[in-house]
Amino acid sequence: MSHTIRGKGKLLARARRIRGQVEGLERALDGEKGCGEVLHLIAAIRGAVDGLMAEVLEDHIRTHVAAPDITSAAERTRGAEELIGVLRTYLR
């Protein structure tokens, strides 16, 4: 069972909170709120997305790279390569 399926409820709840934050940002922009308020909303969204990313990354590392029950070097390498690819995209 995939770790994203195991933690599906918790991850969906976080994603829904992020969606709510983005909707709040849209309302602020539409309502022509001040740049300070808009910047705080953007920072909050970024923090929430970073937190979600960190949680899924940690689970990925524990499940697909560092798990002691992974006996195949190819499987461990595949997990590491997936991680590297995501990190390269994320850090651009």
**pTM, two decimal places:** 0.84
Which tokens belong to 56? 């899924």
Question: In 3D, which of 52, 55, 53, 28 has the Cα closest to residue 40?
Answer: 28
Closest listed residue to residue 44, CA positions, set 62, 63, 18: 18
Query: Would you say the C-alpha torsion 59, 8, 2, 89 has a positive or negative sign?
Result: negative
Tens digit of pLDDT per residue, the chain (92 long)? 466 677 899 999 999 999 999 999 999 999 999 999 999 999 999 999 999 999 999 999 999 999 999 999 999 999 999 999 999 999 98
What is the token pair recorded at 79? 């997990």
CATH class, range 3-90? mainly alpha
